[in-house]
Amino acid sequence: MSPPKHLRNESRASRPRSSTRGPLDESDDPLAPNSPIAPTGAKQTGVDAFNGASFHELDPLAPDNLPESQKKDLSYLLRPNIFHPLSQIDIPSPLRSEFPILDPGEPLSSSLGVLEKLLSEGRFLVAAHFAGSILTSSLISSTDISIIFSLFYTRLACLELSGNTVLAAQESKALEDLNSAFYYVAPESDAANTKSPESNTPQVRHIVPWPLRVLAVRLQSIGFGDSRRSIGGLYEIGLEARGEIMKKDTDDATRKIWRDRLEDLGVRSVNALVEMGDLDAAKRSLESLRTSGPESESNKLRRALLLLRIGDTDAAARVFDDSQDSKEAALMQPLLSMSDGRYSDAVSQWRALQEDSSRNDGALVAQNLAVCLLYSGELDEARQLLESQISSNHSFTSLIFNLSTIYELCSDVAGQLKGRLAASIAAQPVSGQTNLDRPNTDFKL
């Protein structure tokens, strides 16, 4: 969702609430997919160090090298008309970088190495462009399912991470129905186990990596303009996961993978209901979720944040009743104060967390403290606090957006200040943890 544009109100007697972002906003959604959506970049940063491994680690359970009799022709995913042309016109000039040109004379491994380097640097828009270039080149064989699906997944994920979800949704429609028989195979290597002794049914496997299947469910629902399609798609693949868990011949390691996937789908279904605006159904679904073991503190925090987003502050406060001493639980009190509009109390509570040297989320605490200072009328301190985070090489969407909001409120040359902010972020050392191809909307330009 594009952030609302800030509007100046000529009347100084009654100024509307400033547009800011915090932990409950969609761009920093705590329930947003983690590993299944973020592209898996290799640890190497050198082009020559690429060995191709990360492009085969999307799904350890997906069949890799199919026998000749079961080869699948994926040429329908290699058509150039599928992929939209990408531009950096919506990116501030200090953050722009050149689109690399694919050399058809180089081996495929070299091109994949370039892509790995872009991913490791956080150049997601550029990586999406280069992934599309590889997919439409002569370097790819239409039957190399591992490379094709990994590149297609990387293309869609990078488009979404760089703020081009609509384009990703349109391109995801090329996959068509991922539940069709075309995408299922019974590998010949499992011929002896092709049928289970209990049900006498074929033991087939899906050839599409699980992260791509999950990502496609949401993107196709957007592309086809049917939000209910997302819920239905999650339940369909959830039934498959449940079936794999219940198989008697499934080993413990594989069963754990499927259990983790099923739990992840439960959280995604709740998030999909939130996106649909059905908060009551989201709350009921959240309450019905069950985990295979003790709930982690991070999952508790996600659940509490969703309850805050729904508006049930009492239920959110009860989430950490049994673990009030954890670092995640310590975040709840200032968040509850913010939800109730008690910003002065929240300022004191965030300051107390900021003084805790044992915490490793200082940038998050600082940006929430700055938002509370903004709503308390302390614009100068809020500005200094956020600028100090930028100087410490911290930069993420909500921090940049909030600092840009403060520039609009306290200066008549906000555009120049935002330009300097973009230049400062461009000069930060590359960590690979954030998107460097930030759109103008992050800076409210």
Which neighbouring-strand residues pair with 195?
202
DSSP 176-245: --TTSGGGEE--GGGGGGSB-TTT--B--EE-S-HHHHHHHHHHHHHHTT-HHHHHHHHHHHHHHHHHHH
What local confidence, expressed as pLDDT, does residue 292 receive?
64
Other C-beta atoms lying within 10 Å of the C-beta of residue 98: 7
* DSSP code at position 195: B
Other C-beta atoms lying within 10 Å of the C-beta of residue 392: 12
What local confidence, expressed as pLDDT, does residue 276 receive?
87
Q: How far apart are CA 297 and CA 440, in angstroms?
A: 35
Residue 29 exposed, middle or buried by CB count within 10 Å (0-12, 13-18, 19+) = middle
Quickly list H helices, 96-200. 108-121, 124-135, 145-161, 165-172
What local confidence, expressed as pLDDT, does residue 199 receive?
45
Q: Residue holding tokens 């074929």? A: 202
Residue 130 contacts residue 114 (beta carbons within 8 Å): yes
Rounded to the nearest 10°, the torsion over CA 197, 201, 202, 204 is -110
Q: For residue 335, what are its two tokens?
A: 């968040």
Rounded to the nearest 10°, the torsion over CA 445, 4, 393, 413 is 40
Q: How far apart are CA 114 and CA 154, in angstroms?
A: 13
Which neighbouring-strand residues pair with 205?
185
pLDDT of 230-281, one tens digit each? 999 999 999 999 998 998 888 889 899 999 899 889 888 988 888 888 888 8
Q: Residue holding tokens 């461009």? A: 426
pLDDT of 315-348, one tens digit each? 888 888 876 667 888 888 999 999 999 999 999 9
Q: How far apart are CA 180 and CA 31, in angstroms?
A: 29
Residue 192 exposed, middle or buried by CB count within 10 Å (0-12, 13-18, 19+) = exposed
- The stretches in the chain having pLDDT less than 50 are 1-16, 26-53, 55, 190-201
Q: How far apart are CA 358 and CA 401, in angstroms?
A: 27
Count CA within 13 A, CB hemisphere, residue 414. Answer: 19
